[in-house]
Amino acid sequence: MALRLQGGDDAVTDEEDGDERLHAMRHPALLDVGDGGKPRYRRAVRFGTSERTARPPGYVALAETRELGRRARRACELLGPRCVVCPRGCKVDRRADVAGLCAVGRHAVVASYFPHFGEEDCLRGWRGSGTIFFSGCNLRCVFCQNHDISWELRGERAGPERLATMMLELQAIGCHNVNWVTPEHVVPQILEALPLAVGGGLRLPIVYNTSAYDSVDSLELLDGVVDLYMPDLKLWTGERARRYLKRTDYAAVARETIAEMHRQVGDLVLDHDGLARRGLIVRHLVMPGLLDETEAILRWIASDLGPGVYVNLMAQYSVSGKVGRDGEYSEIARGIRRDEYEQALSLARKLGLRLDPRSVADGRTLTT
């Protein structure tokens, strides 16, 4: 079945093969509201061959059998009377709009949504990954590069209709996927929005872009819904996780959740255009002076998940958040050195892991 946007009578296909990225950036609002309030598109973009011929994502069938709606209702039960959407288990009832540590109550807060060209090549393609950045977070990473939206709430409070419209807008401007960034604390809200988005014609693969500090209950409700899981496995030891993430059980939780993600979607599958269609991408940020953490993580991936797992060994650590402020966390208040990245890379290669090529190239640009 061809992957198509639903269009109104005046729907057209972009006739230019030229710079589709620019086209997407210049046309941020391509939706009309048609009869009955359903969104329709005034303009569509040209899809690649493999996108046109791809089978619809699994969530479409789940919506047709109403299973998606049942999942959303079950997910909303996790919100209260004691929230168990994530492993923190805050004693708050988010159904009554009371917020826990993540600072988000009944409705999701979206910091921004746009076609992102900084993601992995297999996600950004040539028209961008359709990122939706959720505000709030269930971790407190001291080196967070997005601390302005994760430690504080910033952005638009978005109910299900608004969230669905965001997903449809990203599809309408040609993004290759919908990429939920920091979704751990808003799984029920996303599941509430998804049937509306499917009803409006959403057919893109869904990326779940997470810290891996998820609850297995939430993940089970996403089985068959998410096409691509992208956990960022940050640290291995409880002591480092307590110091830098403020959560001693982080690694134990992350190992369990990533294993569950892998069980659901398997190894990464690319289509003929090199775009990610399904599977697991594990990110790991190499940190200064913490190569023993990197080594333990890479060895676990190879031995427990298998060398077929796609790994993005990231070199872009920078001093952010609380690091370096008033002399705090001074041991990680520097960038990583090229030799540190090379050591991590060499181990990953020895273990036979499938590495993201762009991050490897980025690592080579480190100057010291």
Nearer to ligand SF4, 183 or 279 (CB): 183
Could you tell me which stretch among 93-101, 111-119, 158-166, 302-310 binds ligand SF4 (CB under 6 A)?
93-101
Query: Applying CB under 6 A, which part among 94-102, 109-117, 221-229, 276-284 lies near ligand SF4?
Result: 94-102
Q: What mask, x for binding ligand SF4 by CB under 6 A, covers residues 174 to 203?
A: -----------x------------------
Residue 204 in tokens: 């893109």
CA–CA separation, 86 vs 250, rounded Å? 12
Residue 81 contacts ligand SF4 per CB under 6 A: no
Report which DSSP code applies to 121. H
Give min distance, CB of 192 to ligand SF4, in A. 15
Which C-beta is closer to ligand SF4: that of 153 or that of 360? 153
Strands 129-134 and 276-285: unpaired
With CB under 6 A, what is the number of residues at the site for ligand SF4?
A: 13
| Pairing verdict, β 228-231 and 178-181 | unpaired
Per-residue DSSP letters for 50-103? HHHHPPPPHHHHHHHTTHHHHHHHHHHHTTSSS--SSTT--S--GGGT---TT-
Out of 39, 57, 100, 321, the only residue in the binding site for ligand SF4 (CB under 6 A) is: 100
DSSP 334: S
Half-sphere exposure of residue 340, counting CA atoms within 13 Å on the CB side?
21
Residue at shortest CB range from ligand SF4: 100
Q: Least Å distance between CB 58 and ligand SF4?
A: 25
129-134 vs 178-181, strand pairing mode:
parallel
106 forms part of the interface with ligand SF4 (CB under 6 A): no
Residue nearer to ligand SF4 on the CB measure, 93 or 121: 93
CA atoms within 13 A on the CB side of 19: 6
CA distance 237 to 135: 27
For position 253 contacting ligand SF4 by CB under 6 A, the verdict is: no
Residue 150 touching ligand SF4 (CB under 6 A): no
Stretches 87-95, 149-157, 316-324, 353-361: which one binds ligand SF4 (CB under 6 A)? 87-95
Among 62, 83, 221, 254, binds ligand SF4 (CB under 6 A): 83
- Measured CA to CA, the distance from residue 364 to residue 367 in angstroms comes to 8
String of contacts with ligand SF4 for each residue 109-148, x by CB under 6 A: -----------------------------x----------
